[in-house]
Structure 1
Amino acid sequence: MKSPLYLVLAAALALPVATLAASPAAHDHGAAAPQKVELNAGMKWQIDAPLRQGMAAMRKAVSHTLPLAHAGKAQAADYDAFGAEVSKQVAYIVENCKLEPKADAQLHIVIGEILGGVDAAQGKQGDKARAAGVVKVAEALNTYGSHFDHASWKSVQLPH
């Protein structure tokens, strides 16, 4: 049986990322504020092996592309390859990750941020936003690391 994350993210991949990150409970008739990832009663959320593997692969992709982007040396092909790799890992997580529902909901928020960064990195928000997209994915991975119990996780060093 697929996890609720699989169903939600499969549908979400077809929706604008802003919709994915917006709070469904917001009823202010204006722009919905993005949800914030929360800890599990002050503790990090438990993860499983597929989530650990997918997030580690995304971190590796960010660690490769971020220095190029920051130095202004990343080319369109670098950003496209980055976006393809991160998207591949998101798909892997969606297909294989099985978390308890509350952890799943928190991961949903992180994945929404990651997908927003992928869109920018792939030029869907203009060429000038590509580097910022890589930074957005890095920030989302850092949020993941501070909220999910991923042993030996190291935060991504962001450019100053």
Structure 2
Amino acid sequence: MKTVSARGLFIACAIAAAALAGAPQAFAADAHNHGAQTPALKLNAGSKWQTDAPLREGMLKIRANVEPKLPAIHGGRFTTAQYEAMGKVVDEQLAYIVGNCKLAPEADAVLHNVIAELSGGAEVVAGKQPVDDRSKGVVHIVNALNSYGQYFDHPGWKPVNAGH
């Protein structure tokens, strides 16, 4: 059985979102060939985008997987195995979100920015992208979680405190 990465799911959804939003086919082809370019993070006419239960659930699980571990990461006490486990949880939750989240096409297109940053961060912490410091992936995950809270309506969501 072939597994699909969160990035692969993201690219597939970016193409679908482009088609649903009436974007030109060139955008969809470019997304497939060059890593998916999505609309910039933006508000919905000054308001946050609506969310649904699967999106909120997945984002809460990603946050719960990362935030309590930040002191150990900042303190240099996080092991390779712990980083790999973190990346796996983020990937699993992204697959759940992509497979179950049903947003309006415009909101979905904006969400793909958050998903892309989460996916990229997960690849770094899991060791799928060569870097000298896996904590750099955690920075991307935290930034994505905070962008999510800034642009999407998730009652009770507060910024992740990434303090050192």
Is the 8 Å Cα contact of residues 11 and 35 (structure 2) preserved in structure 1? no
Q: What letter matches 2:146 in structure 1?
A: N
Q: 2:98 aligns with which of 94, 100, 104?
A: 94
Q: What TM-score do the two structures reach when normalised by structure 2?
A: 0.77
Deviations 1:33-66 (A, max 9, x none): xx53100011000000000000000011111332
1:78–1:8: structure 2 CA closer, same or farther, 3 Å change rule? closer
Is the 8 Å Cα contact of residues 9 and 95 (structure 2) preserved in structure 1? no
For the residues of structure 2 that align with 1:68 and 1:126, how far apart are their CA atoms? 22
Which residue matches 1:132?
136
For the residues of structure 2 that align with 1:124 and 1:62, how far apart are their CA atoms? 18
Unmatched runs of 5 consecutive residues or more in structure 2 = 1-7, 14-30
Q: What letter matches 1:9 in structure 2?
A: F
Which residue matches 2:35?
19
Task: State yes or no: 1:50 paired with 2:54.
Answer: yes
Residue 127 of structure 1: how far off its partner (Å): 5.1
Unmatched runs of 5 consecutive residues or more in structure 1 = 1-6, 24-34
Residue 131 of structure 1: how far off its partner (Å): 0.5
Which residue matches 1:118?
122
Task: State yes or no: 1:104 paired with 2:105.
Answer: no
Deviations 1:83-141 (A, max 9, x none): 01011100110111000000000001110011111111112333523101011101100
Structural RMSD (CA): 2.4
* Number of residue pairs matched by the alignment: 140
3-state SS in 2 of match to 1:129: coil
Q: What TM-score do the two structures reach when normalised by structure 1?
A: 0.79
